[in-house]
Amino acid sequence: MEPILFYDIPSHVRGCVWSPNTWKTRYSLNYKGLPYTTVWVEYPDIAPLSKKIGAAPTDKAPDGTPQYTLPAIYDPNTKTTVSDSAVIARYLDKTYPDKPTLIPPEADALHAAFNEAFRAALMPDLLQIMLPATHAQLRAKSDKYFRATRETRFGAKLEEFAPVGSEKRERHWKGIEQALDTFAQWLSAGGQEKLFFLGDRISYADMTVAGFLVWIKIVLGEDSKEWQDVLKWNDGRWARFMDAFTKYSAVDVGTDVEL
């Protein structure tokens, strides 16, 4: 088969891949063992690219304007463009049923519910810490766009979100710890501790968690106090969890998008 084109967001360090939402698709492609090429797209190019390749908007602004986000893929084998990591996962399962399944059909409704619960538990605190840190990693072309959109959305300067050393930052970090506690509780709901959401095999729910954890690891750094905290929380559960993703973490060199 021809390689799938996988649209991801670059940083100023080649190979330093950070976007949690595109990581979900990268894990999906790697887990299924499908050939693909990464195409790097700076923030201001996401909407023009999406329109060009026919990727559906994934959200709406409060005023109704369609919003385009990555990941998106173009699969030359079926001439299909798909956006939104969960929709991509379902497309890949349907199109390549002989490869390992990301979302077993009997678990798809629960996966959708999981996604809501996951976001509600983690996002409010995580974004406050991760958006400013991510901004520092972006190339010049994305820098201004990212700052303007995020500062408008949250009504504050990136520098005020969660300054290093502030009480605010500590509170948000505590919130992240509590969210991971909640996930650990879900994973133990059946009375014994599971490593993955479906038990002993990885599914898309795990890729969602891993995508957001790897964001912390990549952007704050492996040696950061924060990442070292994560590895210790819940008796080292997340260290064991992330170890299982090592073999699905390959990043190709890719090419820059041409519009």
Which CB atom, from 111 or from 150, has the smaller least distance to a copy of itself? Answer: 111
Rounded to a whole number of angstroms, the distance between the first and last alpha carbons of the chain is 25
Which is nearer to a copy of itself, 108 or 252 (by Cβ)? 108
Query: Is position 68 an interface residue for a copy of itself (rule: CB under 8 A)?
Result: no
> Please, what sign has the CA dihedral across residues 28, 34, 38, 39?
negative
CB of 148 to a copy of itself, least distance (A): 30
Shorter beta-carbon distance to a copy of itself: residue 189 or 250? 189
Interface map 172-211 toward a copy of itself (x if CB under 8 A): ----------x--xxx-xxx--x--xxx-----x------
- Binding status of residue 94 toward a copy of itself by CB under 8 A: yes
The torsion region of residue 254 among left (phi > 0), alpha (psi -120 to 50) and beta comes to left
120 binds a copy of itself (CB under 8 A): yes
CB of 206 to a copy of itself, least distance (A): 10
Please, which residue, 42 or 84, has the CB nearer to a copy of itself?
84
Which one-letter amino acid corresponds to residue 4?
I
106 is a contact residue toward a copy of itself (CB under 8 A): yes
CB of 191 to a copy of itself, least distance (A): 7
Helix and strand numbers (H, E) in the chain are: 9, 7
Judging by DSSP bridges, how do beta strands 59-60 and 255-256 pair with one another? Answer: unpaired
Cβ contacts of 86 within 8 Å, gap of 6 or more: 24, 103, 111, 112, 115, 204
Quick one: 8 or 206, whose CB is closer to a copy of itself? 206
Cα–Cα distance between 138 and 135 in angstroms, integer?
Answer: 5
> Should residue 107 be labelled a site residue for a copy of itself when binding is judged by CB under 8 A?
yes
State yes or no: residue 47 binds a copy of itself (CB under 8 A): no
Question: What CA–CA distance (Å, rounded) separates 186 from 217?
Answer: 23
Q: Establish if 258 lies at the interface with a copy of itself (CB under 8 A).
A: no
Cα separation, 193 vs 100, whole angstroms:
24
CA angle (8, 50, 74) in 5-degree steps: 65
Residues near a copy of itself, by CB under 8 A: 86, 90, 94, 103, 105-114, 116-118, 120-121, 182, 185-187, 189-191, 194, 197-199, 205
